[in-house]
Amino acid sequence: MTEIRSLEPAEWELWDAWMRAQRLLARELERGLQRDCDISKAEFSVLVTLWRAADRELRVGELAEALDWDKGRVSHQLTRMEKRGFVRRTRYGADGRRAGIGLTPEGRRAAEGAVLVHGANIRRHFLDPLTPEQASVVRAWSEQTLDRLEPHRADADDSAS
């Protein structure tokens, strides 16, 4: 049996600093979306996911899977965004029986503007302060963590080689 070890004080300090920095960065980026684009983080996530999709449209289930949200959350979010004129419900598939969701022209404009503004905020608050060496370490650590915690990711990477 593997021995369970408690964290040393310096390890707790590292963990606490990382968690606080991550929360503050996420909060600042979300404030930027709200202030500069008048959209929430959730709206941004939906807009960008649809913007990247073929024909700017997905089945609702595909959208839920891409966002890693439950269908109830997606449904509520889509209702709010439909009222704002960002998305429209569609019939999807050859038989037209599946529920789909697509970007409206207003949703496309919102997505394109938000990508530029959010990208600038990411650059200012996250990328610019990093040296190239720090960026390389953050990327390597992030990839390693994703490989370890996203089981499908490692499988997909293995089958691609």
Assess if residue 37 is contained within a domain.
Answer: yes
Q: Which residues pair with 92 in a beta bridge?
A: 98
Q: Smallest Cα–Cα separation from 110: which of 25, 46, 19, 29?
A: 46
Assess if residue 10 is contained within a domain.
Answer: no
Contact 107, 85 (CB under 8 A): yes
Assess if residue 148 is contained within a domain.
Answer: no
Residues 6 or more apart from 93 whose CB is under 8 A from it? 59, 100
Mean pLDDT value across residues 108-118:
96
3 state SS of 13: helix
Q: Could you tell me the pLDDT band of residue 118, with boundaries at 50, 70 and 90?
A: very high
Residue 23 has pLDDT above 90, yes or no: yes
Mean pLDDT value across residues 32-36:
96
Q: What are phi and psi of 70, to 5 degrees?
A: -75, 160
Assess if residue 109 is contained within a domain.
Answer: yes
Assess if residue 51 is contained within a domain.
Answer: yes
Q: Look at 5 and 125; give whichever has higher pLDDT.
A: 125
Distance CA 95, CA 101 (A): 16
Q: Could you tell me the CATH number of the domain that includes residue 50?
A: 1.10.10.10
Q: Smallest Cα–Cα separation from 51: which of 89, 118, 107, 120?
A: 107
Rounded to two decimals, the pTM is 0.81
Q: Residue 5: its pLDDT value, please?
A: 87
Assess if residue 20 is contained within a domain.
Answer: no
Query: pLDDT for 62-93, tens place per residue?
Result: 999 999 999 999 999 999 999 999 999 987 66
Structural domain span for residue 84: 32-129
Residue 96 has pLDDT above 70, yes or no: no
Query: What total of structural domains would you count in the chain?
Result: 1
Mean confidence (pLDDT) of the chain: 91
Assess if residue 9 is contained within a domain.
Answer: no
Distance CA 2, CA 4 (A): 6
Q: Residue 153: its pLDDT value, please?
A: 57
Contact 28, 63 (CB under 8 A): no
Residue 147, token pair as written in the block:
């490989």
Assess if residue 105 is contained within a domain.
Answer: yes
Tell me which DSSP letter residue 68 carries: T
